[in-house]
Structure 1
């Protein structure tokens, strides 16, 4: 229980494995978990909020503005330092929160006045926590409590001197566009920082991770550090860059931090960010209609937005709903500037099939729901069925010819939806799992580790640790404190653990993942019994170089389940030389995804369109 984010609060993000092996030379290697290696920040992107949410219609007490710090009293003893920086913003306030021990800085606050004079609520939307406090000691102290996930912990803060800001001369030297690459285990991700002068004269701007999303995430604060370093806070995604400018003023070098992860980073000054070629991205004119749509999953408390492409001519047309993999993604399933769902939608709608592609919860124009960190795959099944219901309500769509096409985790969602609703006429699994979640994660760690060239002893050691953690997670006889204690002991005994504070951060991050409702649901879920109950036509495809959902084991498990269920209309296909994104590739490693110009293999698109046409496209 803490005041700032654990992994479950941020990412859903990226579904990492609970532990990771290291390279021989000692640099930490992150082998990410199911489907999420390339989405290590995706969960954070979904939760990005603008800094400085201000209360409206309230008079801000002048005494609230300032720099505040104090210790949060933790259950069982101990304390966590919390720091708040608050300033006036019209008739309200804006500000940020820090927890230095967790290396979290500049997290945006939403501040509201309380019912009584000199009382207020400092909320951290990204974590669901809030400091409910009252000015005391003549305006030099804040007394109150921290609320988060049902806990109520004492917190008292004192006014501190304002921190030193970045002076105008340094700010001028830092302004511009900066680009670099983060190496995160098997993944290489480009990062772009745009540093500019804000209206108030301070240094600000935004960060983009273009290989994941075009979303511009605000820089929430820039701090001056000892020496020539500055700390650039992208607080809504719990990211900081502690960097220094070189003598040429053409390079920023230092450390990137997010949660318990710390990486060396170098950013070069550029005139414009690098542009990559994506020749399959559809271009106008389009021989079909396109409509921006909205619908609701009332039971889940979310409003969903997407794009519906409708073939030309007289309907009603068969339709598919595209369901993305894990981590919050936009309607195009944008990754490394590829837009595979747009490519699929374009191809199918040119062949007489309507396609609905939707922003995931918390992405684009879709809402996140009341408790995003608690959402599991079960909740996403509800979103999919809401999409089916929306399609069935459209007169252009044939209500008895609506299918689901699920990629990766979407291949778990589609069968669950099909056995719950007779409105689902067919399903397609693109790299969908066929084995239980814990087994899939172990297969993935092994496949990615081998492709990375990890020494066999290091890989086996990592797998052994991972197996032990899954056994702890799956052991129904353990109480929650016993589970946490056993997992902590396993992690701290691992020879792969980094030293010092970084190792402590790795342990806390892994424990937070184990506490995540999504992880707990996924690790326990076995797709096979669900597949045995599917009665509608089913197509399952994968690539032989998929290292995230290895094709041999998963396609075999899918087919075995269908045989046990006496299914009469299914097809299972493996495509030689394709990776998890259905690109032709050399090794299947995640680091190749963004370097490949192809977005989605044409032969798979042709199979998909032909399979649906054969069963559901009429001649008239």
Structure 2
């Protein structure tokens, strides 16, 4: 949930129209735009929007606009984006200064009236025209009542009974192209696979783009049900070979495709990109330790003690939330001290909000091993050597240990050198943010995925 408290000057509705500023996110100056025009309508009209264009998030609806009890503040709620914004309006009503909490980062943000302009770097992996395949819009019933999913189906020209692939994006709201950081990696991947003779289905996640339903309250189970619905839609298409439908999931999407494969024996195989195989609470703890390590190395004795205490408290919060069956139980547990570790309820309460959003709670309670143990189809795992979110050193051994030792469950692992969690190449000695990197998806990763699928379907390799 994205919430914001905006202090207001005495004049009527000084915050209106489009306000914009930049935050430093993932090493890149990232524009943030909030459209306050609905304030001229009615508070609570649900028509305000927020844009983070470098993240691929456009016109994300603000769920509610609530005026403060003293008529001196406004609260914005966007349940699609877990995070928060708090800011204060200057006396001349020309600056809104505060902090944006998003993606685990607390970032200074100053908004001013008007829309920023920015240029997108060249994307050399853009599609080559003309396309040797057809693309058609497709809609199908999602995994929940009232959810209609919309996407694009790429089909080889003039062929019947073709193998097919469903692409499943990672955490956060994504459109059918997996758009993020100004890139469309699924567009590039779908094109690569379609040129190899595969039908490829990409779809907007529920509540995103042309798909209906709500993204914010959905759980991993809900998203997996949408993947299963995509498989059903392909099986109903006479051009598709129903016995050769593969699933490819990135990051959190790896959890969803594993769940579908565990429940549907008819899936032909799955590819896990930057995949997860350990309990997610342990993955989050490992990320936390990796984030703290540079600060520990730079701090004096007193500073290290404070950092270690912060790490200890955050790990305790993660453990409590992961072990709690629901939010109410988590809140109750977080109000109790942990005497053995010297952690007070006040300390727990201070750090808990970062992890208390429903989507984060759902992720923390996931243990992919339960689904992986049930899989009886070939599995490909492609991980970047520079992936710090799902490191190959921990996730690939966990994946191998969890998969059943059967002849049908063949595991192929590929660790791609100089490639990150987002499957972008960072050449040695360079530093590129995901947005500033011109590469949308590593050519080596593309080859690994395409070659594996070709081998599974025994098709000749394309040039």
Q: TM-score, normalised by structure 1?
A: 0.61
Contact 1:318 1:617 in 2 (8 A): no
CA-to-partner distance for each residue in 1:521-565, whole Å, 9 max, x for gaps?
433433234323322111101011111111210012112333645
SS in 1 for 2:207: coil
Q: Structure 1 residues 428, 511: CA separation in 2 closer, same or farther (over 3 Å shift)?
A: closer
Counterparts in 2 of 1:385-464, with a 5 A limit? 385-450=228-293, 455=298, 457=304, 460-464=308-312
Counterparts in 2 of 1:287-436, with a 5 A limit? 287-297=132-142, 300-368=145-213, 372-373=216-217, 375-436=218-279
Q: Structure 1 residues 393, 617: CA separation in 2 closer, same or farther (over 3 Å shift)?
A: farther
Q: CA deviation at 1:209?
A: 0.8
Gap runs ≥5 in structure 2: none
Gap runs ≥5 in structure 1: 1-9, 11-43, 45-101, 107-162
SS in 1 for 2:242: strand
Greater Cα offset, 324-333 or 252-261: 252-261
Matching residue within 395, 418, 422 for 1:581? 422
Matching residue within 109, 125, 128 for 1:265? 109
Distance 1:351 1:195 in 2: 47
Matching residue within 402, 405, 413 for 1:572? 413
Contact 1:465 1:491 in 2 (8 A): no
Distance 2:307 2:96 in 1: 31
Distance 1:440 1:325 in 2: 15
Matched, 1:596 2:437: yes
The equivalent of 2:316 in structure 1 is 468
Counterparts in 2 of 1:487-526, with a 5 A limit? 487-489=334-336, 506-507=350-351, 509-510=353-354, 512-513=356-357, 516=358, 518-526=359-367
The equivalent of 1:484 in structure 2 is 331
Q: CA deviation at 1:245?
A: 8.3
Counterparts in 2 of 1:147-226, with a 5 A limit? 165-166=11-12, 179-183=20-24, 189-193=30-34, 207-217=50-60
Q: TM-score, normalised by structure 2?
A: 0.79
Distance 1:261 1:607 in 2: 33
The equivalent of 2:385 in structure 1 is 544
Contact 2:163 2:199 in 1 (8 A): yes
Q: CA deviation at 1:388?
A: 0.4
Q: Kindly name which structure, 1 or 2, has the bigger radius of gyration based on alpha carbons.
A: 1
CA-to-partner distance for each residue in 1:321-377, whole Å, 9 max, x for gaps?
0111122221111111111111111111111111111111211122225x952x321
Distance 1:272 1:242 in 2: 20
Distance 2:178 2:106 in 1: 27
Counterparts in 2 of 1:222-233, with a 5 A limit? none
Q: CA deviation at 1:233?
A: 6.5
Greater Cα offset, 182-191 or 459-468: 182-191
Q: Which structure carries more strand by proportion? A: 1
Contact 1:193 1:205 in 2 (8 A): yes
Distance 1:559 1:271 in 2: 49
Contact 2:143 2:223 in 1 (8 A): no
SS in 2 for 1:216: strand
Root-mean-square deviation over aligned CA pairs: 4.4
Distance 1:568 1:209 in 2: 41
Distance 1:322 1:397 in 2: 16
Distance 1:214 1:385 in 2: 25
Contact 2:144 2:222 in 1 (8 A): no
